[in-house]
Amino acid sequence: MSAQRKVFRDGVIVWGHLIQANGGLFVPGQQNLPGEMVYSLQSHGLDPQELGNVATELATLKGTQPTSHALREIADYLTDEMIRVFGLAVPPSISRDGCLISTVQFARHHLPNQMLSDSVLPLVVAPQSPHYAFVLPAVYWPEQLLHCWGCERPRIR
């Protein structure tokens, strides 16, 4: 069974917030491309605004050289843009809410308008390491979220 199939079968649905993504995802196109998402698997979870604060702080590390080993690891990974992670822990100096970072391969057919139009989206994440994460297909998104993306519910293929 593929990792994706297993995650969709056994995974946990959580809010995710974009840290960074390939620029090609913000314009129409055919190619599925990677990006980095932050989320929490803790039972209470984090609301999208709190995740946004964490994502913003993480994004500011890109291109820096922090003295803290944990922050330096994240700074190097975000700066490199070719390193892939699946459940990298966010240091407590940024969040004490058990946040994790995973690379997501954005399948355009799972996005409501085939591209990234917002930074908040639901993810399906493997509950155990490695924490593979995938975008929850838009056909399962709440109406309010689709509205934020300026879209209507897509049809099931």
Q: Give 38-84 pLDDT, tens digit per residue.
A: 999 987 668 899 999 999 999 999 999 999 999 999 999 999 999 99
Distance CA 86, CA 107 (A): 17
Cβ atoms of 48 and 17 within 8 Å: the answer is yes
pLDDT for residue 156 is more than 70: no
3-state secondary structure of 10: helix
pLDDT (tens digit per residue) in 92-132: 999 988 999 999 999 999 999 899 999 999 999 999 999 99
Pairing of strands 133-135, 120-125: antiparallel
Q: What are the structure tokens assigned to 66, written together?
A: 């922090």
Cβ atoms of 6 and 124 within 8 Å: the answer is no
* DSSP H or E stretch at residue 21: strand 12-21
| pLDDT for the residue numbered 152 | 78
**How many H-runs (helices) and E-runs (strands) does the chain carry?**
4, 6
